[in-house]
Structure 1
Amino acid sequence: MSIATAPPVPVELPGGRSDLVVVGAGIVGLAHAFEAVRRGLSVTVVERDRRPVGASVRNFGHCCVTAQRGELLDLAAASRTGWVDAAARAGFWAPEAGALVVARSATELAVLEELRDERGADAVRLRTRDEIGDALGRPADARDDLVGGAHLPADLRVNPREAAPRLAAWLARQPGVDILWGTNVVGVESGTVHTSRGPVHGDQVLVCVGHDLDRLHPVEAEAHGIERCRLSMARVEAPPAFRTDAAVLTATSMLRYDGFTAMPSAVPLRAEVTAHSRELLDVVANVMFTRLPDGTVLVGDSHAYDATEIPFQDEGTTELLLREAARVLGVPRVRVTERWQGVYASSGRGPLLVRDVAPGVRALSVTSGIGMTLSFGLAAATFEGALRATA
């Protein structure tokens, strides 16, 4: 499976001044460009690579709405609306398939029941053991380890390898939009983005470069404690009976997202997972998987944090994740067709960095691994003036 590519055409700098210059053609930058176009603004996007190749294409393609909490839940809900609109306009796959959360113990099910009680039965739809087994494609005689689960209908799916490239291609066809591929940004100041091809001018500048913020604004990145989180990911052949487009989450997912961890039963759940699967917690696992339109399945992931990510992947970690995914699917093993290292910005100081680094210049990074989920909601909040910069 290949990532959609940008046309190999010569890059020419725009001759005039744009209303907005966006640095970075990841999904957060592209979502802001999309929102600007919706509002009738001219936009120039500057991207050092020839196509999106970073965090935006290396993930599960899961817009994880329901598992957020507080302000992030509001942003995620707004983002869902933006994703649906963008998919309709740009023509990429975005089924409103939701997410399935598999419960294999009474404690896991209790977390889901508590979330249902808080959010309501429409937002968290509890499922029986057989309903979950049917969704996973498990035969009736291979469901003894299932207790039940929940369907989260607000969650959304996209193909991460196509969504950002197709959105970029659509943007490039719109009047007043320029996308400068293969153009490295070397500095930013009010009204001007300095690039390897010369200056690009705009009334407002948004720096949306994710984990690479330290390349352009190291002081701001260090003040927020940004690190690079690297992930072990794989694509596998789907078991023949596994056909759902919903994302599939497990107990480790319930230990990761704030919507789940705020539930009273999350504390005993962590103790339970520690007792029977400590090795998953040791690699900070979020065992989940998502099916792509071609029938293959994205499986992951583990988390390791450092200022500079190392390029080496531990095979034992990948095999651990694959074994656990196979258990959830109820099959002896899964066959890997691809492996790769995901990456995103992470910080223990908060899920978002929003800094006004100069008049008319804002740096914005999602520092919690939910950039796909929040992207369009952040863009709407930026233009509505609802996203405030922090000191």
Structure 2
Amino acid sequence: MADLLVVGGGVLGTFHAFHALRRGLSVTLIEKDQYPIQATVRNFGQVVPSGMAGRWFDYGWRSLEWYRFLQEHADITVRPGGTVYIASDAEEQQIIHELKGIMDGRGYPALMLTSADCLERWPSLRSSYCREGLYFPDEVSVAPERMIYRVLDYMVETFPRFTYRPLTTAVDCYPSAEGVTVVTNAGERLTAAKAVVCNGGEFKLLFPQLFAASGIVVSKLQMMRTRPMPDVALRGNILTGLTIRRYESFEECPSFAGLSVPEHLRELKEWGIHVLFKQADDHSIIIGDSHEYAGAMEADDLGFSLKTHVNELMLREAERIVSFDVRNLDRVWAGYYPQHKERDIVEEDLSGVIHIRTAIGGKGMTSAAGYAEESIAKLFA
């Protein structure tokens, strides 16, 4: 019997397991697939507390410490380079100056960059787009297709009280004399003092009525990746004017509420597009993304096909921002993640022993490590 059983091996579940292990607890983590393949590995791999608001900024800042800790002990693909937000017009410039003041008040390192500064650091930016930049030097990126597997490997090698069970699906979860019992697809009964359920949209398999009434929506994101471009230098996380108009941190700025929507951005806004770039270790560049939404019970309606029109909108906007060939693509894909219409995360506690933690939205890669630390501390106070 374990002290904690975690359902779901994505970034949220894995960091719950990690922090429980660091407290000396015995932990079993089960993952339904051969390895995690959902939202944790289908994103940009940008760790950007600068885009978060409220407690999620604090969790993101703390997460940076945990990423650096893990990188010192195992190469989990953390790469320095910082984050820059490129302002393309006077309204966006005003807002990044306001966010700079907010971050200065928090003691979070931030630098204003002139257009010339930006073009010197990132020569592939177009001078016609780049009017000014706000740079956060301490932020990092990871390789999403590898990071979580490296963390799990590190945990298996480091913590003798850790049991990792891939290809193990939870089909039932209920309070029992031992605390909680999880029944697997193989008919096993795994027991623990507590269970944390972090299996995203699959939470509907265990608690269908609760899931149906949860208010969760599913977001579908379209992303693209170029072929390797060794001649392009695009270090760090490159975020643009559309991101300034979208991310939660900017909503705290006094001028945000009065932002106009220029005509050339209207259709992009309708599809939830904000153009981001991140260069991978092999010099390929991830470009995206868009957002479509459906209610939790209608998520299948989003489908798995990609809308070429949406990709074209992103590519046209990308061509306004950078000078390299954004159409030199190697692959395109869709990612899916659950979020809540009104809450920043879904937290449900059943009988004091089953703790559902899901629908973190797009905050997982940035903030999950810090959030899970606090979550485990509360569960095992």
Structure-1-length-normalised TM-score: 0.89
1:282 aligns with 2:270: yes
**Distance in 1, Cα, partners of 2:250 & 2:228:** 28
**Distance in 1, Cα, partners of 2:141 & 2:57:** 17
Q: Which residue of 1 aligns with 2:238?
A: 248
| Structure 1: unaligned runs, 5 residues or longer | 1-16
CA contact (8 A) 1:20 1:44 kept: yes
Q: Which residue of 1 aligns with 2:22?
A: 38
**Quick one: structure 1 residues 227 and 129, their matched pair in 2 at CA, closer, same or farther if it must change by over 3 Å?**
same
**Quick one: structure 1 residues 251 and 272, their matched pair in 2 at CA, closer, same or farther if it must change by over 3 Å?**
same
1:354 aligns with 2:347: yes
Q: Which residue of 1 aligns with 2:182?
A: 193
For residue 351 of structure 1, report the CA deviation from its aligned partner.
Answer: 1.2
Residues 128-185 of structure 1: CA deviation (Å, up to 9, x unaligned): 101111232238xx51332111102242211101111111122222311111111111
RMSD of aligned residue pairs (Cα, Å): 2.0
Aligned-partner SS, 2:51: coil
**Distance in 1, Cα, partners of 2:214 & 2:332:** 31
Q: Which residue of 1 aligns with 2:312?
A: 319
For residue 386 of structure 1, report the CA deviation from its aligned partner.
Answer: 8.4
Residues 1-58 of structure 1: CA deviation (Å, up to 9, x unaligned): xxxxxxxxxxxxxxxx111110000011111111122111111111110011000000
Q: Which structure 1 residue ranges, 4+ long, deviate > 6 Å from structure 2?
A: none
1:218 aligns with 2:208: yes
**Distance in 1, Cα, partners of 2:308 & 2:151:** 34
**Distance in 2, Cα, partners of 1:384 & 1:187:** 26
- Percentage of identical aligned residues: 27
**Distance in 1, Cα, partners of 2:141 & 2:379:** 26
Structure-2-length-normalised TM-score: 0.91
Q: Counterpart amino acid of 2:289?
A: D
Correspondence list, 1:300-339, <5 A: 300-306=288-294, 307=296, 308=299, 309-331=302-324, 333-339=326-332
Q: Which residue of 2 aligns with 1:67?
A: 51
Q: Which residue of 1 aligns with 2:155?
A: 171
Residues 186-213 of structure 1: CA deviation (Å, up to 9, x unaligned): 0111221110121111111100012222
CA contact (8 A) 1:245 1:292 kept: no
1:58 aligns with 2:47: no
For residue 349 of structure 1, report the CA deviation from its aligned partner.
Answer: 1.5
**Quick one: structure 1 residues 387 and 176, their matched pair in 2 at CA, closer, same or farther if it must change by over 3 Å?**
closer
Moved more, 100-109 or 122-131: 122-131
**Quick one: structure 1 residues 68 and 387, their matched pair in 2 at CA, closer, same or farther if it must change by over 3 Å?**
farther
Q: Which residue of 1 aligns with 2:112?
A: 126
Q: Of the candidates 268, 283, 295, which is equivalent to residue 295 of structure 1?
A: 283
**Distance in 1, Cα, partners of 2:229 & 2:127:** 16
Q: Counterpart amino acid of 2:347?
A: V
**Distance in 1, Cα, partners of 2:211 & 2:321:** 38
Q: Which residue of 1 aligns with 2:219?
A: 229
Q: Which residue of 1 aligns with 2:377?
A: 384
Q: Counterpart amino acid of 2:34?
A: R
Q: How many residues align?
A: 368
CA contact (8 A) 1:235 1:296 kept: yes
Aligned-partner SS, 1:229: strand
For residue 332 of structure 1, report the CA deviation from its aligned partner.
Answer: 5.2
